[in-house]
Each structure stands twice: as C-alpha cells, then as structure tokens.
Amino acid sequence: MEKSREFNDILDECLERLVKGGTIDECLASYPELAAELEPLLQTAMAAKKASVIQPRPEFRAKARYQFQSALQAMESRKSRPFFGWQRRWVTAVTVVLVLLLAGGGTVAAASNSMPDGTLYPVKLTTEQVWLALTPSSLGKAKVLTKLADRRVAEIVYMANKGNAQQIEVITQHLDKHLIMIARLVSDQRKEGGTFMVPSEQAGAGNDVQIQANDRGRLRIMIARYAINHPAALQAALEKSPDSVKPALRRAIAVSVAGYENALMALD
C-alpha cells in the first residue's frame, strides 16, 4: 500500500515535469531503479499530451468571443439602464450643444472625413456619439451604428496603408463594439414589439408596425451588403499591407465576419 503510494507520487512528479515541457529521459535518470515501470506509463502520458495541441478554429474563436462580449454587455446594460439611462441621455444632449457651440458647424463637417491620425478625429468621434444619442429608436440607432461601422472599416484600411498596427487594433475594438450594439439593438427592438412581419401579415397591422418592418428590412439589406463588402475590403488591404500589420488586420477581418453574422442572426 505504502509502496504503491510512493510510486504514485513519483509518477505524478514525472508527469508534472512532462506537462511543463520536461522529457521522459530526465525523469528516468532521476529514478533509474523504477525506469522499467515508469517508462511505458510516461510514454502513454506523452501520447495523451499530444492532444494539448488542439486549438479552436479561428472563426469559432472570433464568434465565441463576440457572443461572450455581447452577453457581457447585455448584462451590463440590464443592470445600469433603469437608474442612469436618462442621466446619460441628458449629458449627451448637453455635449451636443457644447460641441456645436464650441467647434462650430464647419469644424464638425470637416471632422466627419478625418482619419485617426488627423487632429479633428476626436471631434469626429464626439459628433458620432451625439448623433447616436439624438437618434430616438433602437432601429434608428442600429442604422447609425451600421454607418459608423462602415467608417471604421474605411479607417482600418487607411491605417493599414500607413502601416499602423496599433491604430488598427484600437479601431477594430470600436468596430467590434458597434457590431455588438447593432445586434443588441435589433434584438431589443424585436422584444419591444417591432417584430418583422411578412407583407401578407401586415395587411391588418397599424402603420407604425409596417414602417418598423420596412425599416428593419432596409437595415437588413444594408448589413447584408456590408457583411460581404467589409471583410472583402479588409482582405484586399491584408494582401497588399506590410507584414507588421497583418495580424491586426486578420483580427479585424475575424471581428467583421463574426459581428455581421451575429447582427444578421439577430435580425432574422
């Protein structure tokens, strides 16, 4: 009994070494008197350890990460909305007025075309937040975010040409957030009663419902178009970009593929 416990301890010590990258020979050298008994067991353990090279598919990894983040943000939103939602809207409305007063309409217009390395880029982002905050419905916000996602992709392609991997990573995070929000907003809109109806079902429904259904259909067409165009544009950028930005671009592609797929699933 005691002997077998001692052997199990030695075997475990050797296995721990193997898990941490050690070799069978090293272990056998430490316990030459047990080598004959240990060797076949350690070889089998090494065979089992080979399965530790299995990795998730990159598409699955991106999709799972996206869904996890969506769930995380949905929980966050459910927690904070009842108490502070109105406050945030007021803060944003005040910001709008300040931006318009301080920056002036011309500056805001010029900022809308600026790129992340431009001095007006922060104005562009602030204006976008204002635009989003002032858009009343969930569906309207989803539409704004879809347009913002289009801007983010253009910015990623621009920064790829500049060879700036760090900026690509930052903008990709923004893109990811936009796409997560789109999926959430269209789901919320459905729960709020804006269920998409096929034309024959709409005959007896009110005008509001019909308008919502049409808006939802138009949004779906826009997202479906971007779901093809954006990954294609990023892929084209990947093919002609320097090696230093390729990993960041690959992440951007994975985010756009998974993000649009989820948005379309939420719309269906």
Q: Considering only residues 28, 34, 41, 222, which one is a binding residue for other proteins as defined by CB under 8 A?
A: 41
**Distance of closest approach, residue 70 Cβ to other proteins, in angstroms:** 10
**Distance of closest approach, residue 112 Cβ to other proteins, in angstroms:** 29
Distance, CA of 250 to CA of 235 (rounded, Å): 8
Q: Does 37 bind other proteins (CB under 8 A)?
A: no
**Distance of closest approach, residue 250 Cβ to other proteins, in angstroms:** 15
Q: In this structure, are residues 226 and 150 in contact, taking their beta carbons and an 8 Å threshold?
A: yes
Distance, CA of 133 to CA of 149 (rounded, Å): 16
Distance of CA 103 to the CA centre of its chain: 32
The contact mask relative to other proteins for 180-199 (x = CB under 8 A, - = no) is --------------------
Distance, CA of 162 to CA of 149 (rounded, Å): 20
Residue 21: helix, strand or coil by DSSP?
A: coil
Q: How many CB atoms lie within 10 A of CB 146?
A: 19
Q: Does 15 bind other proteins (CB under 8 A)?
A: yes
Element (H, E) at 47: helix 35-49
Nearer to other proteins, 77 or 112 (CB): 77
Q: Considering only residues 2, 3, 32, 51, which one is a binding residue for other proteins as defined by CB under 8 A?
A: 51
78-107 binders of other proteins (CB under 8 A): 79
Residue 41 token pair: 């067991």
Nearer to other proteins, 40 or 105 (CB): 40
Show Cβ contacts of residue 238 under 8 Å, excluding neighbours closer than 6 positions: 160, 246, 249, 250, 253
Residue 235 token pair: 């892929």
The contact mask relative to other proteins for 64-83 (x = CB under 8 A, - = no) is xx-xxx-xxx-xx--x----
Sign of the dihedral defined by the CA atoms of residues 113, 115, 117, 123, in that order: positive
**Distance of closest approach, residue 62 Cβ to other proteins, in angstroms:** 12
Q: Does 219 bind other proteins (CB under 8 A)?
A: no
Summarize as ranges the residues that interact with other proteins (CB under 8 A). Answer: 4-5, 7-9, 11-12, 15-16, 19, 40-41, 44-45, 47-58, 60-61, 64-65, 67-69, 71-73, 75-76, 79
